Amino acid sequence: TALALGLDAPFEVEYHETIDSTNRRARELAESGATDTVIVADAQTAGRGRLDRSWESPPGGVYVSILCRPDRPPAEAPLYTLAGAVATTHAVRETGLDARIKWPNDVLLVDDDSENKIAGILTEMQGETDRIAWLAVGIGVNMDDPGIEGATGLRAALDDHVPLRTFVHHLLESFDALRKQESESILARWREAAATLGQHVRVETPDGVVVGRAVDVEPPGALVVETDDETVSLHAGDCEHLRCA
Binding window for ligand BT5 (CB under 6 A); candidates: 4-12, 43-51, 79-87, 221-229: 43-51
Tell me which of 5, 23, 42, 85 binds ligand BT5, using CB under 6 A.
23
Structural contact between residues 56 and 146, judged by C-beta atoms closer than 8 angstroms: yes
CB of 45 to ligand BT5, least distance (A): 10
Is 54 or 233 the residue whose CB approaches ligand BT5 more closely? 54
User: Scanning residues 147 to 206, which ones bind ligand BT5 (CB under 6 A)?
Assistant: 148, 151
CB of 38 to ligand BT5, least distance (A): 11
Of positions 70, 78, 84, 138, contacts ligand BT5 by CB under 6 A: 138
Q: Say what angle helices 164-179 and 78-93 make with each other, to 10 degrees.
A: 140
Question: Which residue, judged by CB position, is nearest to ligand BT5 in the bound state?
Answer: 120
- Cβ-based nearer residue to ligand BT5, 82 or 121: 121
Contact 211, 230 (CB under 8 A): no
21 near ligand BT5 (CB under 6 A): yes
120 lies in the binding site for ligand BT5 (CB under 6 A): yes
Cβ–Cβ under 8 Å, residues 87 and 119:
no
- Decide the pairing of beta strands 99-102 and 222-226: unpaired
Among 49, 60, 73, 127, binds ligand BT5 (CB under 6 A): 49
Separation of alpha carbons 5 and 15, rounded Å:
9
142 binds ligand BT5 (CB under 6 A): yes
Q: Determine if 88 is a binding residue for ligand BT5 (CB under 6 A).
A: no
DSSP-derived pairing of the beta strands 238-242 and 200-205? antiparallel
Backbone angles phi, psi at 39, to 5 degrees: -100, 125
**Gap between the Cα atoms of 129 and 31, Å rounded:** 17
Asked if 16 is part of the footprint of ligand BT5 (rule: CB under 6 A), the reply reads no
Which segments within the chain are labelled E, that is strand?
A: 12-19, 37-44, 62-68, 99-102, 106-111, 114-127, 132-141, 200-205, 208-218, 222-226, 231-234, 238-242
Contacting residues toward ligand BT5, per CB under 6 A: 21-23, 44, 47-51, 53, 55-56, 63-65, 105-106, 117, 120-122, 138-140, 142, 146, 148, 151
